[in-house]
Amino acid sequence: MILNCAGKPLDLTHPQVMGILNVTPDSFSDGGEFVATDAALAQARKMVADGAGIIDVGGESTRPGAVLVSVEEEIARVVPVIQAIRSELDIPISIDTSKPGVMRAAIKAGAGLINDVCALQVEGAMQAAVDCNVPVCLMHSQGNPQTMQNNPQYDDVVTDVIAFLLERAIACEQVGIARDLLILDPGFGFGKRATHNLLLMKHLSKLIELGLPVLVGVSRKSMIGNSLKVSVEERLAASLSLAAISVWQGAKIIRSHDVLETVQAIMMCDHVMKVKGIE
């Protein structure tokens, strides 16, 4: 399967790494590092050289307790970076936002995929996605970044997340977004306790059985810190382990801060999965 991201192909016949480029002052892992356009472009160059298949630009942190920013501020952060990347690098760009105004501005600037942690539930977002006519990643989240970790509850987290994402996919199809433009993300760390995250990872193949490409974002996340009691800076090895587990179950896109290492981990996994010979 090859996604057409506004004229830039994303080949999902093998796993791809989505490089994280946060142009925010307060993201949990790299806040403030790439606020300046020159710094963001230099990081984009590095991620391309390291093997990223797509770069995900975000202008508002979605970490637990993050401060909301205005549409105007978010556009001011992401559009110059998207334009700079598009002018120099031949790679698909995704926009990490839930705001329809930001979606439209980012796609106009050169982004080719909408990565929405609210699964197009914000008023106007669904219509913006229809009008932009680019692939969309629908993510599950319980609550919003300000409240999502305040006692999240599920009857059965795996069943509940799959049901939600299936409902959102159907809603997209009903308004005219083609099924082959949809990607699903279970939303690790978004309104989920440590056990919820581990169960979703263990049973990720059940989500993949829906037949749509699945994106997994676990890079440096608190599910690692909670399990291993390590700081954000000490979570690379575990992030790679979870990436490999995800790809082994069928995930097609791994969202990561550490592109080179993640590319190597998932491609090694892919080689083992695809090797043919005498068994």
DSSP string, 162-198: HHHHHHHHHHHHHTT--GGGEEEE--TTSS--HHHHH
How far apart CA 28 and CA 219 sit, in angstroms, is 11
Spatial separation of the C-alpha atoms in residues 172 and 180, rounded to whole Å: 11
Q: Is 86 a catalytic residue?
A: no
Active site includes 235? no
CB-CB contact of 48 with 84 (8 Å): no
DSSP E strand stretches across the chain: 2-5, 8-11, 16-22, 54-58, 93-96, 113-116, 136-139, 182-185, 215-217, 253-256
CB distance 196 to 221 below 8 Å: no
Q: Exactly one of 63, 77, 99, 221 is catalytic; which is it? A: 221
How far is residue 136's CA from residue 132's CA, in Å, rounded to a whole number? 10
How far is residue 263's CA from residue 101's CA, in Å, rounded to a whole number?
33
| Residues annotated catalytic, as ranges | 221, 255
